[in-house]
Amino acid sequence: MKKIEDYIRTIPNFPEEGIMFRDITTVLQDAEGLKLAIDSMKALVESAECDVIVGAESRGFIFGAPIAYALGKPFVPVRKKGKLPWETISESYALEYGTAEIEIHTDAIKPGQKVVIIDDLIATGGTIAAAINLVERLGAEVTKAVFLLELKGLNGRERLKCPVDVVVSYEGI
């Protein structure tokens, strides 16, 4: 039986020298790999108190929506600024070169709800730290963040104010 690691392609020196890029497109394009990834992440969510699944744009949608469906939970997207059509709140966060901003609909999550955030990768943690802030500003609580991959050398989980679960951890960056 294959493990998730068997489906992940590693590309040395991309996008720059010294980086070992972990490519999940090879997981997505294989039916068994995709099922294993979603089932593995779903198993990590099942133990959490959860009323709502939040997915971060864009790969958080790929994993978050089917997990929400399988668990009978609503799915809420956190999107890049300007992509949501209704009233939103936004949160800026630092990138390696500049800043980015994400948004959530103001009526997407109710005060007191328990939220699990899903994304494909935790690296520096900036996007998910911003998503946690958005959820908290709506009066809800993030009970867990779940990722397919973690790049441990970037210490992203240290930035998050919630428990973190991952399917696969890689040392380094």
The catalytic position among 16, 87, 96, 171 is 96
Q: pLDDT confidence of 172, banded at 50, 70, 90?
A: confident
Is residue 60 scored above 80 in pLDDT? yes
Is residue 1 scored above 90 in pLDDT? no
Q: Helix %, strand %, coil % for the chain, to 5?
A: 30, 35, 30
Q: Identify the H or E element spanning 165.
A: strand 164-170
The catalytic position among 59, 137, 141, 159 is 59
Q: Is 96 a catalytic residue?
A: yes
pLDDT tens-digit series, residues 95-111: 777 899 999 999 999 99
Q: What integer best gives the mean pLDDT of the chain? A: 96
Where would I find the beta strands (DSSP E) of 16-155? 20-23, 52-56, 75-80, 88-95, 98-105, 114-122, 141-151
pLDDT tens-digit series, residues 129-164: 999 999 999 999 999 999 999 999 999 999 999 999
pTM over the 0.85 mark: yes
Q: Report the pLDDT averaged over residues 38-44.
A: 98
- Provide the residue count of the chain: 173
